[in-house]
Structure 1
């Protein structure tokens, strides 16, 4: 069996706030998809001690970035969390405390800060773009299974916390893995509000029109 750093041994997916590993092998022309527990992955991957340590470090970094909106400082490589969620200009505390440097970087492009003003909502580094908005603008459209909803954007920013989520479910309701709020992928209303407005037909229809592709990322004020 190949080690995890070679080819595709497992695929990593996320559901309800947990990492899951699925076998990508082809079986009779279809992907196996069997879920592997983490102990099974460790037992069968034949990792060296160094590879095992690197693998677990990467999992920890992935979890920090995905669930807690931490980003890696481009100078000292430590993980940083913003105090002001609307300010792109971030000062790394560890750079200052460990190295005596005052290092500022852009939360969006992860380059040394270029620009002026505080709070700062725009970075002057060339090519600095909001990648999440790019994803939302260019995502494909799809029909939502089990409903009459057609041509719905396949990727949404959670209306509560802003986490990007691709629709992989069997209905139009999604539970955000970050904030755990259930919402409707079609109208972007909280699920309970969507259901209350359409009675017994809420799985097939929405009282509100299909929400277009989002052009802003909601900011989650809770900690």
Structure 2
């Protein structure tokens, strides 16, 4: 969406308080909140603005006055004073957006969405849980386990787990790989693989030469399409990936 469209949508919902605005300034009864970029936001129009963006397939948010300033979802929740019902409805809509893959994760403790802008440290804070506990609460972006301190993660495969979770799905309707994650881990050695989208769904791992189906993750032998597309793999904290036999439904 062009910056002009962002501004027009913000004006429609009277999102940004007038220049120099502060508490008590703006539409009668409007409750302002100070965003991280320094602009005062009319939270009365915030929910409608967020809903309008999501209806257009846009799961990310930024200030209409300074487009280079992103607004994290957890920041908007703090500003917006959404009801639990409204927040749950909006978060459910965010999760079904293809563009949200890799940027959002549900906190394993409170199930609310946490957004991050760029791949980076796996240790991820949850603002609502931290406020409730009155201390910093963090979880691992890759596997979702509690991460109570700044010590290194116990499982070195967790960056791999994060990559698998963040990978978007393949969008190629004519292909048998349509709807599969764009990254898979070899079921035997965990090497990251992608498919060329040419030929059969079976792949050969270049590291350990394991042959498996990219769709169902089953090992070679007696495979027939169609097979069930397996979910994103869970590798962190496990001795081995659970394998489906070829042709499992």
Report the TM range for the smaller structure's normalisation.
0.3 to 0.5
- Asked which structure has the greater RCO (Cα within 8 Å, sep 6+), the reply is 1
Greater fraction strand: 1
TM-score (norm 2): 0.31
Structure of larger gyration radius: 2
TM-score (norm 1): 0.34
